[in-house]
Structure 1
Amino acid sequence: MPTDKKGASYTYKNSGTNSQGNHYCSRDYGSDAVNQNAYHYSNQDGSYYYSNSDGSTYYNTGKGEAWYTPPDSNGASYYYNSSGNCNTNDQEEASKN
C-alpha cells in the first residue's frame, strides 16, 4: 500500500484527465482519517486544489494567489499572494474571490 509524504497509507480510488485536459486524483485514507476521501485536481490554467486527509484544503490560482484552510479551523482560511502577504479570512469570504 502506498504512503503519502506524511507517512499515511492510502489506496487509489480514481484518477484521470477530463475532456478539458484537467487532471484529478482521489485517494481513500481509510476510516481513521478526518477526510477519508482526499482528492486533488490540477487545471490547464495552472490552478490546483487539494482536499487533504487531515481535513485541510489548499487552492492555488496559478497566478500568484493561494488559500489554505487548516484542519479544525472553524472556517478560517489564510490568503497568500506573490507579494508575500498573508491574511486570515473566513471561508465564505475567501470563496468569493
Structure 2
Amino acid sequence: MPSDNKGSSYSYKSSGTNTEGNHYCARDYGSAAPNQNSYHYSNQDGSYYYSNSDGSKYYNSGKGEASYQPPSSSKK
C-alpha cells in the first residue's frame, strides 16, 4: 500500500484526465482519517487544488496566489 509524504497509507480510488485536460487523483485513507476521500487536481492553467486526508485544503492559482485552510477550521 503506498503512503504519502506524512507516512499515511492510502489506496487509489481513481485518477485520470478530465475532458478539459485537467489531471485528478482520488485517494482513500480509510475510516480513521478525518477526510477519508482526499483528492487533488492539477489544471491546464497551472493551478492546483488539494483536499488532504487531515481535512486541510490548499489551492494555488499558478500565478502567485495561494490559500490554505488548516484541518482544525470549520465553517459555521
TM-score bracket, shorter-length normalisation: over 0.9
The alignment's TM-score, normalised by the length of structure 2, stands at 0.95
Which residue is 1:46 aligned to?
46
How far the C-alpha of 1:74 sits from its partner, in A, is 2.7
Unpaired stretches in structure 2, ≥5 consecutive residues: none
In structure 2, how many angstroms separate the alpha carbons of the residues matched to 1:18 and 1:39?
A: 14
Structure 1 residue 18: Cα displacement: 1.1
Distance in 1 of aligned mates of 2:27 and 2:73: 23
CA–CA distance in 2 between the matches of 1:71 and 1:20?
30
Misfit runs of 4+, over 3 Å = none
Counterpart residue number, 1:70: 70
- Over the matched positions of the two proteins, sequence identity in percent amounts to 76
Q: 1:56-92: per-residue Cα shift (whole Å, max 9, x none)?
A: 00000011000000011234xxxxxxxxxxxxxxxxx
Distance (whole Å) between structure 1 residues aligned to residue 19 and residue 39 of structure 2: 19
Q: Specify the alignment match of 1:9 in structure 2.
A: 9
Q: Whose relative contact order is higher, 1 or 2, with alpha carbons under 8 Å and at least 6 apart?
A: 2
- Give the alignment of 1:22-41 within 5 angstroms: 22-41=22-41
Distance, in Å, in 2 between the alignment partners of 1:6 and 1:18 is 28
CA distance in 2, matches of 1:45, 1:74: 29
Question: Alignment RMSD, CA only?
Answer: 0.7
| C-alpha distance in structure 2 between counterparts of 1:52 and 1:64, whole Å | 21
SS at match of 1:59: strand
